Amino acid sequence: MQRKLHIAFSLKHFFLPENNGWFKRICLVFAFILFDYFSTLVFCQAPYEEANLYARIFMESFGIPLGLTLFVFVANLPIYVTLSLDSHIAKFPFKIAIIAECFIDVAFAWFVAGLHFSGGTSWFWLAPDLTRQFLGTLLYLVLAFLLVKPHKPRYDD
């Protein structure tokens, strides 16, 4: 049955992204996540200072370094697995890929990079949350355009 459908189950699809634009996108998204992680590790002196209730619960249960590490791992594993799977599955023609990847970049820019940038800078920059999130979103989109986006059509379609 597996041979007829050409379906192969492999853990590499979950954990090893294909080396293409998706891999660069994973690196970019996780740069923002790691920025938030390290700034929280450096500036957070007590768990009650953390604004994220779930991160605070982990930090109160396991201590700041281990709790924060576990929280970041658990909370961001689905993002990593989704992008890694997409790197193997999403093989769109160039014109459709441009639209789909732009949509994905905007979603990840606002909901992941922007939120983590806002959280990371909240420790040392007293600006409104929306301002920090917008700046993080803008920074992600600029970096994605410069580092991730294909600027010429692929001929492998």
The model's confidence at residue 1, banded by pLDDT at 50, 70 and 90, is very low
Domain assignment present for 6: no
Domain assignment present for 155: no
Q: Could you read off the pLDDT of 5-59 as tens digits, one per residue?
A: 444 556 665 666 666 667 788 889 999 999 999 999 999 999 999 999 999 999 9
Question: 2 or 67: whose pLDDT is higher?
Answer: 67
pTM tops 0.85 = no
Average pLDDT over residues 109-129: 94
Domain assignment present for 136: yes
Q: What is the mean pLDDT of the chain?
A: 83
Domain assignment present for 41: yes
pLDDT given for residue 97 in this prediction: 73
pLDDT given for residue 109 in this prediction: 93
If one counts the domains in the chain, the total is 1
pLDDT given for residue 10 in this prediction: 63
Q: Which residues of 72-109 are buried (b: 16+ CB within 10 A; e: fewer)?
A: beeebeebbeebbbbbbebeeeeeebeeebeebbeebb
Domain assignment present for 113: yes
Print the domain residue range for 27.
13-147
Domain assignment present for 54: yes
Both tokens of 139, joined, read 């920074």
Q: Could you read off the pLDDT of 77-97 as tens digits, one per residue?
A: 888 877 776 666 666 677 777
The CA angle 35-29-71, to the nearest 5 degrees, is 60
H or E, element range at 86? helix 64-89
Is residue 151 scored above 70 in pLDDT? Answer: no
Question: 76 or 79: whose pLDDT is higher?
Answer: 76
pLDDT given for residue 12 in this prediction: 60
The model's confidence at residue 157, banded by pLDDT at 50, 70 and 90, is very low
Domain assignment present for 111: yes
Domain assignment present for 156: no
